[in-house]
Amino acid sequence: QAFMASRNAEKALEFDPTNSDTYGQLGMIYVQSKNYESALPALQCVVEGCTAEENQIAIDLVDQGLLEESVAVEPLPLTNPTVGYYYIRYGSVLAYLRQEGDGRCEKSLLLMEKLRAAFPTDVDLLSNIQTNEELCNSLMSTPAP
């Protein structure tokens, strides 16, 4: 069902290709289906924003004939725990896809600091933040594949 869910989110992007939240939802669907390589650009757009040239999701939709051109996407402001979970997942994907010296774990740790500062009393988010931090610290102490 993950394939159908991702197609539905991609269809939503055909109607509003600049909707940051839809990129976040698509990224979460990709993570759930263990498609981390596709999750990374979707979550990047929702957390960091992306230019039309960086927006791999929209570029793929253009290649499929579903969009006329790629578009820039503004990041969602970190104003609620829902957006926080996009940060958590983005940080996890950065860690899992890291390569030696690419800075992905360092970026993940910076995102976790930002989350910790934004939601210092949200126990669920703090637990996920700690898990991501432990993962990155562990990965950074061992050589990447």
Please give the Cα distance from 103 to 109 (Å, whole number).
10
Closest CA to 86 of 111, 66, 62, 67: 111
Tens of pLDDT, residue by residue over 15-49, are 999 999 999 999 999 999 999 999 999 999 999 99
Residues with Cβ within 8 Å of 115's Cβ and at least 6 positions away in sequence, in order, are: 78, 84, 87, 88, 125, 129
What the block records as the tokens of 10 is: 């991609």
Please give the Cα distance from 134 to 72 (Å, whole number).
33
pLDDT grade for 143, boundaries at 50, 70 and 90: low
What pLDDT does 81 receive? 87
pLDDT grade for 144, boundaries at 50, 70 and 90: low
Tens of pLDDT, residue by residue over 68-90, are 999 999 999 999 988 999 999 99
